[in-house]
Amino acid sequence: MKIYTAPMAGITDYSFRKILKKFEPDFLFTEMVNANLLNREDGTTVNELLKCDEKEKTGTQIFGGDRNELVSGIFKLKDFGFRKININMGCPQPKITKNGAGSALLENFELVEEVLLETKDIEADISLKIRVGYREFQNPEIFLKLANKYNLDFICVHGRTQEQMYSGTANWEIVERLSKMPRNIEFFGNGDLFDPFEIKQKISFCNLDGIILSRGIIGNPWLILQTREFLKFGKINTIQTFDETKSIVLEHLENIEENKGKIKAVLEINKFLRPYFKKFWEKNLNKNSEIVTVEDFYDENLKGKIDKIILEKEILEKIKMIKQL
């Protein structure tokens, strides 16, 4: 079972991918890239979103609602050296869908096929990531057939509609049904993959080649190794400890500082701090899983300490406060 990490805007940047890489996913993706900005060679897009040391193990995802921009963008990504290029047909955010991009592409089968036709001979592996519905569209099967027709690298299905955004629960019955349809390409599942035990339950009835972890790895890169261990051996050997968590957070902060400077480092690490540490202050969280993934450590004052660290704007003091947790 392959384990990929998803492209997530504002999350899977160069700094966090260096952390994720330590936990040995089979493949990683950069943040998703705007086709329009890519074709204009926007500095942030080219120099920051696409920063990558190892394109053999890192792909990228493109979004857009214009055929020519998508085609041109895909060829540009290939010229940048990326060999796995995913077309985003899943993003539910209104600011994306209002321009016909993201999950709005589900209603535009003809445009998607035109893009695949024009890129079918490219020296790169093209894939699709879709949701199961958008407005009146409730026929994801046609994109599995399209992926088969053009012999794509893989298709990934997130078991939510656009309207659900990230609320409710992902419909793994639809993922199961689609995964069992005839195909000549790899099939990945996605959606609500937060815990190794629950992941095994969700995928046990599916015919999958892999899964793509997304929100579950924010502040929890241990999920990659733990899921692989549980799926392969039925037990988990890699336990997240409090001291290791502090070490990873400090390394993550250092990565951001090296990549983007002190000011951005102080701000950007904040979105990760609660996810990294919440398991150690939510006492009952460690008891909900059927398996042990986190050491038995609890500090009822930890949330308050983390909130103070988030407010701290001087990097050396922030580092000191993290070390003193």
* 7 belongs to an annotated ligand binding site: yes
**Quick check: is 91 catalytic?**
yes
C-beta atoms surrounding 261 within 10 Å: 11
* 247 belongs to an annotated ligand binding site: no
| DSSP assignment letter at 123 | S
* 9 belongs to an annotated ligand binding site: yes
* 214 belongs to an annotated ligand binding site: yes
HEC per residue, 45-94: HHHHHCCCCCCCCEEEEEECCCHHHHHHHHHHHHHCCCCEEEEEECCCCH
* 72 belongs to an annotated ligand binding site: no
The closest of 12, 65, 3, 10 to 34, measured between CA atoms, is: 65
* 252 belongs to an annotated ligand binding site: no
| Dist CA 84 CA 41 (whole Å) | 20
* 201 belongs to an annotated ligand binding site: no
The closest of 25, 32, 119, 14 to 72, measured between CA atoms, is: 119
- Which residues are within 8 A (CB) of 249 and not within 5 positions of it... i.e. 6 or more apart? 269, 272, 273, 276, 277, 322
The closest of 182, 248, 170, 245 to 212, measured between CA atoms, is: 170
* 182 belongs to an annotated ligand binding site: no
Cβ–Cβ under 8 Å, residues 99 and 71 = no
Enzyme catalytic residues: 91
Q: Residues annotated in the binding site for FMN, as ranges?
A: 7-9, 61, 129, 158, 214-215
